[in-house]
Chains A and B, each alone.
Chain A
Amino acid sequence: MTIATASAAAGVRWTKKHLLGLEELSADEITLILDQAAEFKRLAAEGETKLSSLKGTVVANLFFEPSTRTKTSFSLAAKRLSADTVDFTASTSSLSKGETFYDTAQNIEAMGVDQVVVRHSTSGAPHLLSKLLKASVLNAGDGTHEHPTQGLLDIFTIRQHRQKIAGLTVALVGDILHSRVARSNIWGLKKLGARVIVCGPSTLIPAHVERLGVEVSNNLDEILGECDCINLLRIQFERQRSAFFPSIREYAHFFGMNGDRIRRAKSDVLILAPGPINRGVEITPEVADGPHSVILDQVSNGLVIRMACLFLLQQRRQELGNN
């Protein structure tokens, strides 16, 4: 079936075989995905929850790193489009038996998979896979590099509430250094014309990040009043080489989003969090469950964003003759 969107009508076409990151997408391509997702959202609202677009195709979820939310979201997205899905996780696979990444990829390929959704703790792993496989590769988060569908769903959620991205001021707060979500958000938001501030302790802001066109702040209270949206990134304790700040208490004191800070922010500020959230660290329950929070919108939007990505990539595969 063909599904009409504003971007498609405007002549923007999806020509990429893989979705590896937002760095390599144009503003038009990002908008195309957002519009496609909006179309799926509209159809779902009308009760069209099961579509046949990917019928007869196979989507493999390759998760080399634990994930519940993203994997479930991709799985459901593929099922909504009538694809067959296979799940592969590092703990249940042959990886623990010493099989190389390369062998694993080849084995998946041999099963006749059309699209591979890959999550990996090593930055660049999906890029390596994309060189090895005939299947389309969809990056579901690689190390501390990119997490394009998360970036897209964050942007989609902002657009849903604000109808635009250009001109908004968006703060990414917290662990920028280890965050693939931050990098994807930065690329996507900048391309669509937002002003982006990254804010966190100086140990968690990587040097040279300003070369991506963002402003840097170490003082959340100072920038609070300027922000239309605040995206609270999770502190990634598991990726830290050593202590980057003295204590969680001190972190929450300076960078945690709490009721007091919400009252000093813009009255219509949007609070996003890519999750899973550390309640009481980056965000207090009062804020997470409060009126400014769009955290649950993010989760439901994640589904339509992933449907849009799977749909566009499969459409491209058909154009290319499945090679």
Chain B
Amino acid sequence: MSTTLIRGGRIIDPSQGIDRVGNLFLRNDRIEGIDTGAAVADHVIDASGLIVCPGLIDIHVSLREPGDEKDETTASGTAAALAGGMTSVACMPDTSPVIDTRAAVEFIQLQCARAGHCNVFPLGAVTKNHDGKELAEIGQLVEGGAVGFTDAKQPIANAEIMRRALEYTRMFGRPIFNHPQVPELAAKGIMHEGYYSMLLGLRGIPSGAEVIMVARDIALAEMTGGLVHLMTVTTAGAIEHIRRAKEKGIRITSEVTPHHLALTDADLRNYDTNFKVDPPLRTKEHVAALIEGLRDGTIDVICSDHQPFAEEKKQDELDIAPAGVVGLETLLPICVKTLIEPGHLTWSKLIAKLTVNPASILGIQKGTLKSGADADITIIDPTTAWRIDPTKFRSKGRNSPFAGWEVKGRAHTVIVAGKVRYHV
């Protein structure tokens, strides 16, 4: 038996509406309580001046294993997650081969256990090999441990397939994550279609490509009663549709990434492949709509959409280089810079989007400091300034657009199942 006392931190637990200075007690791998616990603890962590919250959950991470281990492995990716303050990640099934069988899901969990870093909740494929044609064996995948389903960056383009997937997953109570983008409108696009794509001569992806798919998915969610989670929304039009859908009581959730809040299409002016992401960076008007969506609860979750790539892949020409950036180790400071410092969100609201909300979407018993819950804790240092240096990342991916940024906010101590797994 082992007890831990995290003393004097600002405890923020949105699942219970708590935001106050106090002592958090852990017993073995469980939370004992706030301000109630053993008078003498085996381990004491001084958290004065720090934020103590449920372990952060990143619901959109690519770990690349199996198949692309030179980009990332389960071990390096989950180490990066810990360094970013995450105690749990949901990983994408767009590996090689695709996670569309029970054996593959179980392999992910085996690799995660071998690595021994953070919790990994695998997402399974909606369609076999992400081909968008035939449903994968969703029930078997659930039995193997998949908590949700997605074709990752392949939009589920066929409305009939999406409909059947939503109907079928309903009986397992599992969500479908869709990348809302009409493929024909986005084909070969490199950046947001607008003034800068015209100026730079780069093929654009119009915001309508996202808005149309979001509207379709909302209609299908309403029709089927299935759970739709819209991945990485970036447009004002999408936010409007989601807001109205939520007002009507349609069960739909959505997420946004820090890079879509911190950067715009104008940043492509340097033709740097580290600014090529999918969906693309949009204009500042869209960014303002995303921030409003975060403020009023239209957007439920902030996730990294961590997309590690080996250096040589990003050294290719802009149209050949893959889209995506690493994000696990920069999510927290970029949220602080874009949301906390300008006063858009309180810490409590931000932490809700990184704990209780993602846990609820994944249907996992995480993201809370309630007595008896898993002792997954993130202690955040909100004030010390530091400089983002991709060469220091635990991720194998160095493809960050934030190299050199002066930021505040980083994980100080990360506890998974009662054990300290990361300390700055």
Chain A residues close to B by CB (< 8 Å): 23, 100-102, 120-125, 127-128, 142-146, 180, 183, 206-209, 211-212, 241
Contacts and interface: CB of A to CB of B under 8 A. Distances in A.
B202 A123 contact: yes
A123 B318 contact: yes
Interface stretch (B155-163, B187-195, B407-415): B187-195
Of the candidates B195, B197, B201, B312, the one having the most CB atoms from chain A within 10 angstroms of its own CB is: B201
Contact of B201 (A101, A144, A207, A241): A144
Interface string B186-221: 011000011101111111000000000000000000
Contacts of B201: 123, 142-146, 180, 183
A208 B271 CA distance: 20
Interface in B299-322: 312, 315-320
Contacts of A121: 319
Nearest to B312: A100
B198 A127 contact: no
B323 to A, nearest CB: 14
Contact of A101 (B187, B193, B195, B315): B315
Interface of B is mostly: loop
Contacts of A206: 197-198
Given A124-B200, A127-B270, A241-B203, A207 B315 contact: no
A224 to B, nearest CB: 25
A125 B200 contact: no
A122 B318 contact: yes
A221 B195 CA distance: 28
A43 B201 CA distance: 37
A143 B343 CA distance: 42
B200 A145 contact: yes
Nearest to A209: B198
A128 B316 CA distance: 10
A102 B194 contact: no
Contact of A100 (B193, B316, B318): B316
A208 B194 contact: yes
Contact of A123 (B188, B194, B200): B200
Given A101-B317, A122-B319, 17 more contacts: A101-B316, A102-B312, A121-B319, A127-B270, A128-B271, A128-B317, A128-B318, A143-B201, A143-B202, A145-B200, A145-B201, A206-B198, A207-B195, A208-B194, A208-B195, A208-B198, A241-B188
Contacts of B315: 100-102
Nearest to A130: B271
23 contacts: A23-B199, A100-B315, A101-B317, A102-B312, A102-B315, A120-B317, A122-B319, A123-B200, A123-B202, A123-B318, A124-B200, A143-B201, A143-B319, A144-B202, A144-B203, A180-B201, A183-B199, A206-B198, A207-B195, A208-B194, A208-B198, A211-B195, A212-B199
